[in-house]
Amino acid sequence: MFSNPIRIYGIYSQIAKKYSKDNSNDKSEDFILIDNEGKKSIERKIYIFETLLDCYMTAMMLGIVNDKKEPEDSDKTIYATVFADILVKKREQLERIYQHMVLTRYVDLDVNARIKKAFSIIKEEDKKEELENLKSYMRGGLLIIDDYFKNCATIEDFCIKIIDFKNDYSIE
Amino acid sequence: MEIKSFKLKNFRQFKNINIEFSQDADKPFTIITGGNTYGKTTLVKSFLWCLFGIKNFDDKILLNKEVIDLMKCGDEEEVKAVLELDHNQFSYRITTKELYVKLPSNEVRIQGKAKIELLKIGNGGNAIPITDDILVNDEIDNILSRDLSSYFFYDGETNSIEQITKKANLTSAVSEIMGLKMTETLTDYFNPLKPDNVIKRFQSKLEIKDPIESQSLQDSLEQKQFERENKLDLVKTINSTINDLEIQLTEKERQLDENKNILQDQEEKKDITNKMNKLIDDKNSTFDSLMSLINNNKLLDSLFAYSFLQSDLQDFLKHADFTTEKSVSHITEEAIDELIQRGYCLCGTKIETHNDAYNHLLDQKNYIEPRNYGKHVDSFVNNELINISYCSTQMDILSTTAGDVLDCISKLDDYQERLDKIRKRIEGKKDIGEVQVEIKNLEQQKSFKEGELHYINSSTIPLLDSEIEKLNDKIRKLSSATEKNNFIYKCIKYSERIYKIAERKITKEKENIRSKLEETVGSIFDEMYTGNRKIIINDKFQVSTTLADSSKLDTSKGLETVMNFSFVAGLMKLIKEKINSNSDDDVFEQDKTDDNYPLVMDAPFSNTDEKHISNICLNLPKYCNQIVIVVMDKDYNMASDKIFSKIGKKYAIKKQSETFACIEEEF
């Protein structure tokens, strides 16, 4: 399932690039925060995610835990791609995400069927559909990420949102 | 000296003005009002130009600019001032002119220097014109010496009322005013340490055994006396410098005292700034740590943990039919079938249909994929549980780090608020740290000068005295004991005695004057000042005040003005009293001086409050017959009620443009 590049389009690609240390040449919006040092104010360019793939993966899990799926954006002029050679390095993480998706969201299947689906090798004919599911959750997750941080103007706002995130997904 | 009228032609902005001064003893004030930059200071300074040719202006071209513009190349125009006054039963007309020519470059050049001419008119009406420069200077010096002019003409810039009592050494000036100058000069002729003195002349008449040796000794003596004179002059200079330094120190210490709070504020500002800088470093470092945690996918890890717990996966997975004990992962049915078909196992055991190995392999098919995922599940659950445990700590660290950044930001805001308050308090005020440094520098300079003075007084001068005495002794020994020489020695002794008596007399007289001046100025001060202070005048005739119970206190500016007016009024009063006094037992006849001098002042009240202005204006006429005040309307208005009945003449400067002003009399 992860032997081909993963590409997202439109608004979702913009969100992913905004919060990632993306090295592409197209001019995407930067995530800039004001840092007030007394009377002096400086601008800081912030990257929440070291790579696009890190952003994708976090977005996928966010979409899964919130059960939020989003359809593809019709605007195909802008996009963001993670290539197969990068995907292969994080294969284990991706498979883990897939397993969480199946075990927690495939409610039509019983426990044994979910386990079988989660841990067996995916059949060729099922790969496309499963990848689409993941991408759907990813798009939903990207919107959630953007909701958290789009109104942050300062470092202070950002720190408050991080604490909110931690509290919202608290494991205590 | 009583001034009657003053005319200016083409003098800076005054193209043509004529002022007549009040000469009414009951109405001594002549008031000239004008706004800022109307030419008040120019007017006062023009008196000094007329009398002495003194040009206290940055621009030395006095010719009116509009007149310059109208001149063609080669044209000549003059600047003229005419002062009419009465002095010692004569009337004088002093005319000062300066000629300008226009150059091809459109600039003007002064032709020569200002020419002062004098017309002296006696009681009978006979007028004597005086044009010779030296004679003119002598006549004017008799009316009012240049050195004294600064006590009667205050232009507010180069010479202001505020500065009068800060002059380094008023002794010489007071001597002049009180008529002691000539006596002092005569006394100097008997001073054995002065270059050309009577005693020296007597000594030169002695009959000498060895004239050549004697001459050589005389030359050495002269040399030593000259050196001693120089050292005494140096002592005066150093004393003057020390005095200036003390004045500056007093002022700086006053600033420091007045601004103690500012020093505290400045120190606090420095402290807060340092703390803020450190806090900013901490904040930046903490924020970098936070971003490092976030960039290392801690958010993703926490979501795995959340997902596992939210769906209670551990419990959910327990309901699976897959067992874990016998389960084997990562081996397929196809692999087992292939082993069976091959006929021997991976370990080498032979596999034949229905043998133990064959039956065992068939049984194992029940514990592998796709029939059994037990190991997978087991592995998954264990990994997630480890993640949960790790994640819990990591997310706490993340949250704490974010909280620390917020704390830093909050503290920075607090510090900034405090800093803003302090800045507002000290805005525009002098940096007290700088004042402290200045004080230290001044103290060092003063200490150095005192050291220098001490060395000269305790070592250099006594050494010179000793050498002078030795030389005198040698000279005496060279003179033979003739009748002539005996007579000359008697004359020398008398001269020395005359000198000692005169010196004592002058010192005593000066002390009398000082004491009288202190008393006079003190009583005038009491009339003008509303407060609890008294006047002190030291041996250099410098004025200060102290609380009536003799503890010293720094003076404020308004108080200084009252002090200075009191001093000037006191001087004037003493001059009058001296002339009118009848002292028959005086050995020395005092010099004769005019008992009236006008007081001409520009903006004398700029630093004084209404009450003191009023007091000054009420009391000054008692001691001064003519008072000319050039003042701004607002300052005049503060005193006008009180002095209205004493105003003899009033004028207003009307500014027509930057280069033209006229004066109108107001009735």
Q: What is the pLDDT of residues B429-445, one digit of tens each?
A: 777 778 889 999 999 99
- Chain A partners within 8 Å of B305 (Cβ): 171
Instruction: Tell me whether A122 touches chain B (CB under 8 Å).
Output: no
Question: Distance between CA B570 and CA B520 in Å, rounded?
Answer: 6
Cβ within 8 Å, pair A166-B398: yes
Contact B313, B381 (CB under 8 A): yes
Residues contacting B122, CB < 8 A, separation 6+ = B89, B90, B128
Query: Which residue, B102, B162, B92, is CA-closest to B128?
Result: B92
Q: Closest-CA residue in chain A for B379?
A: A119
pLDDT of residue B125: 81
Out of A37, A100, A167, the one facing B412 most closely (by C-beta) is A37
Q: What is the pLDDT of residues B632-656, one digit of tens each?
A: 887 788 778 777 888 999 999 998 8
pLDDT at B555 exceeding the cut of 60:
no
Contact A122, A1 (CB under 8 A): yes
- Percent of chain B topping pLDDT 70: 89
Query: Mean pLDDT in chain B?
Result: 84
pLDDT at B347 exceeding the cut of 60:
yes
If one counts every other C-beta atom within 10 angstroms of the C-beta of residue B244, the result is 16
pLDDT at A6 exceeding the cut of 70:
yes
Query: Exposed, middle or buried: residue A80 (CB in 10 Å: 0-12, 13-18, 19+)?
Result: buried
Out of B310, B395, B398, the one facing A65 most closely (by C-beta) is B310
Cβ within 8 Å, pair B294-A112: no
Question: Distance between CA B141 and CA B134 in Å, rounded?
Answer: 10
- Closest CA of chain B from A169, distance in Å: 6
Q: Closest-CA residue in chain B for A48?
A: B295
Supply the DSSP string of B123-161, one letter for each residue. TTS-EEEE--HHHHHHHHHHHS-HHHHTTTEE-SSSS-G
pLDDT of residue B558: 66
Query: Mean pLDDT in chain A?
Result: 89
Query: Which residue, B531, B543, B560, B548, is CA-closest to B254?
Result: B560
Cβ within 8 Å, pair B299-A115: no
Number of A–B residue contacts, CB under 8 Å: 124
pLDDT at B597 exceeding the cut of 90:
no
Tell me the residue length of chain B. Answer: 667
Tokens for B550?
A: 């003799």
Q: Taking residues B515-522, what's their average pLDDT?
A: 86
Query: Which residue, B179, B202, B153, B139, is CA-closest to B47?
Result: B153
pLDDT of residue B361: 86
Q: Closest-CA residue in chain A for B399?
A: A163
Contact A31, A149 (CB under 8 A): yes
The widest CA-to-CA distance across chain A, in whole angstroms, is: 62
| Residue with tokens 């017309």, as numbered in its chain | B119
Tokens for B372?
A: 């059994």
| Residue with tokens 């003899």, as numbered in its chain | B648
Contact B243, B168 (CB under 8 A): yes
* Residue B452, φ and ψ in degrees, nearest 5: -60, -45
Out of A46, A100, A112, the one facing B307 most closely (by C-beta) is A100
- Roughly how many angstroms between the first and final C-alpha of chain A, as a whole number? 34
- Chain A partners within 8 Å of B398 (Cβ): 162, 166
User: Which tops the pLDDT comparison, B541 or B459?
Assistant: B459
pLDDT of residue B177: 66
Tokens for B355?
A: 């043998």
- Chain B partners within 8 Å of A134 (Cβ): none
Q: Closest-CA residue in chain A for B388?
A: A171
Distances (CA, A) of B517 to B144, B182, B497, B525, B540: 21, 20, 30, 11, 12
Query: Which residue, B291, B241, B66, is CA-closest to A35?
Result: B291
pLDDT of residue B549: 58
Supply the DSSP string of B342-400, one letter for each residue. HTB-TT--B--TTSHHHHHHHHHGGGSTTT--HHHHHHHHHHHHHHHHHHHHHHHHHHH
Contact B492, B202 (CB under 8 A): yes
Question: Distance between CA A2 and CA A122 in Å, rounded?
Answer: 11
Instruction: Tell me whether A25 touches chain B (CB under 8 Å).
Output: no
- Roughly how many angstroms between the first and final C-alpha of chain B, as a whole number? 26
Question: Distance between CA A169 and CA B575 in Å, rounded?
Answer: 99
B88-102, B211-225, B324-338, B388-402: least confidently modelled range: B324-338
Tokens for B666?
A: 């107001």
Question: Distance between CA B81 and CA B6 in Å, rounded?
Answer: 7
Question: Distance between CA B605 and CA B613 in Å, rounded?
Answer: 7
Question: Distance between CA B170 and CA A49 in Å, rounded?
Answer: 83
3-state DSSP assignment of residue B401: helix
Task: Using pLDDT thresholds of 50, 70 and 90, give the confidence band for residue B589.
Answer: very low
Q: What is the pLDDT of residues A47-72, one digit of tens each?
A: 999 999 999 999 999 999 999 999 99
Cβ within 8 Å, pair B412-A104: no
Q: Which helix (H) or strand (E) holds B472?
A: helix B461-478
| Residue with tokens 């009116």, as numbered in its chain | B64
**CATH classification (class only), B2-144+601-608+626-665:** alpha beta
Contact A137, A64 (CB under 8 A): yes
pLDDT at B592 exceeding the cut of 60:
no
Q: How large is the C-alpha radius of gyration of chain B?
A: 49
Cβ within 8 Å, pair B295-A61: no
Instruction: Tell me whether A41 touches chain B (CB under 8 Å).
Output: no
Q: What is the pLDDT of residues B252-270, one digit of tens each?
A: 888 787 777 787 888 899 9
Instruction: Tell me whether A34 touches chain B (CB under 8 Å).
Output: no
Task: Using pLDDT thresholds of 50, 70 and 90, give the confidence band for residue B199.
Answer: confident
pLDDT of residue B168: 46
- Closest CA of chain B from A107, distance in Å: 11
pLDDT at B607 exceeding the cut of 70:
no
pLDDT of residue A18: 92
Q: Select the residue from B274, B303, B331 to test the A interface by mutation, using most A Cβ atoms within 10 A.
A: B303
Q: Taking residues B608-612, what's their average pLDDT?
A: 74
Contact B21, B600 (CB under 8 A): no
pLDDT of residue B615: 78
- Chain B partners within 8 Å of A137 (Cβ): none
Cβ within 8 Å, pair A171-B302: yes
Q: Closest-CA residue in chain A for B418?
A: A38
Question: Distance between CA B111 and CA B599 in Å, rounded?
Answer: 33
Instruction: Tell me whether A156 touches chain B (CB under 8 Å).
Output: yes
Question: Distance between CA B564 and CA B162 in Å, rounded?
Answer: 7
User: Which tops the pLDDT comparison, B605 or B475?
Assistant: B475
- Chain B partners within 8 Å of A100 (Cβ): 304, 307-308
* Residue B330, φ and ψ in degrees, nearest 5: 65, 35
- Closest CA of chain B from A49, distance in Å: 5
Whole-model pTM over 0.80: no
pLDDT at B554 exceeding the cut of 60:
no
Q: Closest-CA residue in chain B for A50?
A: B295
Query: Exposed, middle or buried: residue B21 (CB in 10 Å: 0-12, 13-18, 19+)?
Result: buried
Report strand pairing: A79-82 vs A6-9.
antiparallel
Q: Which of B421-425, B555-559, B569-573 tops mean pLDDT?
A: B421-425
3-state DSSP assignment of residue B78: strand
Question: Distance between CA B488 and CA B505 in Å, rounded?
Answer: 25
Contact A148, A160 (CB under 8 A): no
The region that residue B40 occupies, defined by phi over 0 for left and psi between -120 and 50 for alpha, beta otherwise, is alpha
* Residue B207, φ and ψ in degrees, nearest 5: -85, 125
pLDDT of residue B556: 57
* Residue B21, φ and ψ in degrees, nearest 5: -95, 150
Distances (CA, A) of B268 to B282, B376, B603, B649: 21, 66, 41, 57
* Residue B262, φ and ψ in degrees, nearest 5: -65, -35
Q: Select the residue from B288, B290, B299 to test the A interface by mutation, using most A Cβ atoms within 10 A.
A: B299
- Closest CA of chain A from B373, distance in Å: 7
Q: How large is the C-alpha radius of gyration of chain A?
A: 18
- Chain A partners within 8 Å of B371 (Cβ): none
Question: Distance between CA B279 and CA B273 in Å, rounded?
Answer: 10
Within 13 Å and on the Cβ side, how many CA atoms surround B88? Answer: 11
Out of B303, B403, B415, the one facing A58 most closely (by C-beta) is B303
- Closest CA of chain B from A172, distance in Å: 7
- Chain A partners within 8 Å of B380 (Cβ): 99, 119
Question: Distance between CA B84 and CA B95 in Å, rounded?
Answer: 9
| Residue with tokens 């109405």, as numbered in its chain | B27
- Chain A partners within 8 Å of B403 (Cβ): 159, 163
- Please, which contacts does B33-37 make with residues 24 or more away whose CB atoms are closer than 8 Å? B33/B630, B33/B631, B33/B632, B33/B633, B33/B636, B33/B650, B33/B651, B33/B652, B33/B653, B34/B630, B34/B631, B34/B632, B34/B652, B34/B653, B34/B655, B34/B661, B35/B632, B35/B633, B35/B653, B35/B655, B36/B632, B37/B655, B37/B658
Between helices B483-528 and B557-580, what is the axis angle to 10°? Answer: 130
pLDDT of residue B290: 94
A19-33, A40-54, A133-147: least confidently modelled range: A19-33
pLDDT at B584 exceeding the cut of 50:
no
Task: Using pLDDT thresholds of 50, 70 and 90, give the confidence band for residue B476.
Answer: confident
- Percent of chain B topping pLDDT 90: 30
| Residue with tokens 């919060």, as numbered in its chain | A19
B76-80, B129-133, B442-446: least confidently modelled range: B129-133
Domain ranges in chain B? 2-144+601-608+626-665, 146-207+483-596, 209-259+430-478, 261-317+373-426, 328-371
What 8-state DSSP symbol labels residue B632? -
Out of B295, B300, B402, the one facing A159 most closely (by C-beta) is B402
Q: Select the residue from B287, B288, B302, B307 to test the A interface by mutation, using most A Cβ atoms within 10 A.
A: B307
Q: What is the dihedral of CA B558, B156, B254, B609, to 10 degrees?
A: 20
User: Which tops the pLDDT comparison, B624 or B663?
Assistant: B663
Q: Where are the beta strands (DSSP E) in chain A?
A: 6-9, 32-37, 40-45, 79-82
Q: Closest-CA residue in chain B for A19?
A: B295
Distances (CA, A) of B388 to A170, B22, B378: 11, 104, 15
| Residue with tokens 């006229």, as numbered in its chain | B662
pLDDT of residue B217: 85
Cβ within 8 Å, pair A111-B419: no
